[in-house]
Amino acid sequence: MLKEERQQLILEKLGTDKKVTLVELGQILNVSYDSVRRDVIELEDRGLLKKVHGGAIANSYLSMKASRGLGIANNEFNIITKKAQKLIENHSIVLMDGGTTNFYIAEQLPKSLEITVVTNNPHLATALAEHPKIEVILLGGSFYKRYQITLGNKTMQDLEHINADLYFMGINSIHSQKGLAIRQYEESLLKQKMMSVAKKTVSCVIEEKMNRIENYKVCDVDDLDYLVTSLNPNEKILQPFKGKSVEIL
């Protein structure tokens, strides 16, 4: 069995199931787990999937683009999107970075909205081509394949010239004491910069990201202006955030 053949099958399975375990794959493909693991690593480097402990899950951008046409609505994302939209004023300058949640919000923006979106995420830029009234500014810099965003000095410099009204910060984890954190060091710097050039910062987090702690802290919960979740305001998981200065939606 050819390596490419295996990888193709992995992607196919991932396309239907959204997730696979290495054990599963090893059995189906009838090769050692090591080979499967190496395949998965390779595919991750190409940005075609995301590797997790014990297996892999489908690339969020790819699967979203695929599911968009089918009208498959993800409930949690939809709730968040609805709430987030209320924060966006017409004729404002909105800063958005990478991450699935931001991508989803951008896609669902009303077609009538006249705003300028500044982003370091090319997927978001191309997706917004469908919105005739939204102007898109793409931040330049070196392109990080793994996270599919631009990063680095150039991107930071570009930001100096931006004065945004609102910043949608994508985040990997949020914790009432330890604050908001992310997996990449460089990315955490960029996010801090973005906060500094925006009047207000909002973070939209899905439930699975709450009360986890990722590697690099971006800021404290108190530094946020708004926190958007899909949860009901008096869920117990939200209680630790209540005393903070952040407004919870």
Partner DNA sequence: CAAACTATTGCAATTTTTTGCAAATTCACT
Partner DNA sequence: AGTGAATTTGCAAAAAATTGCAATAGTTTG
* Terminal CA-CA length for the chain: 52
Q: What is the CA radius of gyration of the chain?
A: 19
Q: How far is the CB of 45 from DNA (least distance, A)?
A: 12
Per DSSP (E only), the strands in 64-126 are 93-96, 116-119
Residue numbers 112-141 binding DNA by CB under 7 A: 112
Q: What is the rounded distance in angstroms from the CA atom of residue 12 to the CA atom of residue 18?
A: 10
Q: What is the rounded distance in angstroms from the CA atom of residue 47 to the CA atom of residue 3?
A: 17
| Residue closer to a second copy (CB basis): 59 or 173 | 59
Phi, psi of 15 (to 5 degrees): -65, -35
Residue numbers 6-25 binding DNA by CB under 7 A: 6, 21-23
Is the Cβ–Cβ distance between 98 and 139 less than 8 Å? no
Residue numbers 195-214 binding DNA by CB under 7 A: none
110 touches DNA by CB under 7 A = no
82 touches DNA by CB under 7 A = no
Residue numbers 116-145 binding a second copy by CB under 8 A: 122-123, 125-126, 128-130, 132, 135-143, 145
Between strands 135-138 and 149-151, the pairing is: unpaired
Of the candidates 161, 170, 193, which has an alpha carbon nearest to the alpha carbon of residue 106? 170
Is the Cβ–Cβ distance between 96 and 195 less than 8 Å? no
142, interface contact from a second copy, DNA, none, CB < 5-8 Å by kind:
a second copy
| Residue closer to a second copy (CB basis): 120 or 188 | 120
- Contact pattern for DNA over residues 43 through 62, marking x by CB under 7 A: --------xxxxx-------
Q: Under the rule (CB under 8 A), what is the footprint of a second copy? A: 2-5, 8, 19, 21, 45-48, 50, 52-55, 57, 122-123, 125-126, 128-130, 132, 135-143, 145, 148, 150, 154-155, 158
